[in-house]
Structure 1
Amino acid sequence: MIQPDRYRSVVDVMVLLHRTDGRVLLLRRAGNVYASGLLAPPGGHLENGETLIDGARREVREEVGVGIDPADLEFCHLIHHRSPEGEARLGVVFTSQQWSGEPRNQEPGKCSALVWANPAQPPSDCVPYTAAVLDRFCSGALLSTHGWTTTTGGVA
C-alpha cells in the first residue's frame, strides 16, 4: 500500500505589539520582498530548530529592535493560509502588551515605515493575510483559514 506524502508547511510567527490605546504595530514592507508596499505585523518564518516562542521573539528583535520576555507573549490565533501562488503556511500569532525598548525600523531595506493601527479598522493597504489575522484577532477566534477554496467553491 502506498502511503500519501506527509503534509508539510512553512510556519510563520507573527507578533501583534498591542499598546494600551488598542493599536497594534504594523510594518510597511519595502524593497525586493513579498508584498512590498503593504502592511504586516513583525514576523517571519520559523527557522529550523527554533521554538515558536524563540522565533517570535527573534523576529520582533530583528525587525523592530524590542525585547519581549517569553512570559509576556500570549498565543492569540492560528491561521492556515494558502498564498496566491498556492503555498500552504501555518501562521502562529502572538500578542504582547509589554516589551523593552522603543520600536524602530531595524531593517530599512525591508521596511519603509512603522504604523500603529486600529486592528478593528485595519488600513486598506494591509497584506490580505494580515487583514485576515487582524479580523480574527478582533473577533477572538483562535483558528481560521485564508486563501483556501472551500468545498462549496468559495474562498475561506
Structure 2
Amino acid sequence: MADRHLIDVHVLLVRGDRVLLTRRRDTNPLFDGRWHLPSGKLDAGESVLAAAVREAEEEVGVRIAPDDLRHVHTLHANRSGVEPRLGLFFEALRWSGEPVNREPEKCSAVQWFPLHAPPADLIEYPAAGLAAYSAGHTFGLHGWD
C-alpha cells in the first residue's frame, strides 16, 4: 500500500471551444504516443498556482499570470501510476505566447482539440478531469473501485 499521494497540476488552456493537448513520448508503452494536458508534479515548497504556471511555461512555452488560473476540478486518482494522485485542474483563458513544444524529448506534438470531442487516445486520468470540467463537476474519483 502506498504511504503517500502525489499532487499533480493540470493546465487547461482553453481557446473558445478548444483545449490544448500534448502527445507524450514515454518509456512506458501505456502512455507513449497518447494525449495529455500540460501538467506535472508539485515540487516541494511550491504552491499549486506556481506549479501550474511553471509547467505551462516549461511544456508549451506560454506565460500565465497566477490570477488568470481558475481551479475547475480536483480528481483523486488511483492506478495512474505507482502511487495514488491528487490532480488539481486549472483553467486558463488568458496567457501570453503561442503554445509550442518546449520539451521534444517528452512530447511529440502539441495540438488543439474540441473540448467536447477529445481524441480517443487521451490518457484516462486527464480524460476524467477534462470530462468532469466539461460537465461542471468540481470533484471526482478515478480508479478507486
- Specify the alignment match of 1:63 in structure 2: 59
Higher mean displacement: 26-35 or 111-120: 26-35
- Specify the alignment match of 1:147 in structure 2: 143
Instruction: Kindly report which structure 2 residues correspond to 1:17-28, keeping only aligned pairs within 5 A, or say none.
Output: 17-20=13-16, 22-28=17-23
The 1-side partners of 2:13 and 2:38 are apart by 8
Q: CA deviation at 1:121?
A: 1.5
The 2-side partners of 1:86 and 1:10 are apart by 10
Distance of aligned partners of 1:67 and 1:143 in 2 relative to their CA distance in 1, 3 Å threshold: same
The 2-side partners of 1:76 and 1:84 are apart by 20
Q: CA deviation at 1:36?
A: 1.3
Q: CA deviation at 1:84?
A: 4.8
Quick check: 1:32 aligned with 2:27?
yes
Work out the number of aligned pairs and report it: 142
Q: Structure 2: which 5+ residue stretches go unaligned?
A: none
- Specify the alignment match of 2:42 in structure 1: 46
SS of corresponding position for 1:18: strand
Q: Percent of counterpart pairs with the same letter? A: 44
The amino acid that maps onto 2:119 is P
Which residue, out of 2, 5, 8, partners 2:4?
Answer: 8
Q: Is the 8 A contact 1:32 1:110 kept in 2?
A: no
Max Rg structure: 1
TM-score (norm 1): 0.87
CA RMSD of aligned residues (A): 1.4
Q: CA deviation at 1:64?
A: 0.4
Between Structure 1 and Structure 2, the one with more strand by share is 2
The amino acid that maps onto 1:29 is R
The amino acid that maps onto 2:90 is F
The amino acid that maps onto 1:50 is E
Deviations 1:17-74 (CA, angstroms, capped at 9, x unpaired): 0002x10000000143671111011011101110000000000000001100111000
Instruction: Kindly report which structure 2 residues correspond to 1:81-92, keeping only aligned pairs within 5 A, or say none.
Output: 81-84=77-80, 87-92=83-88
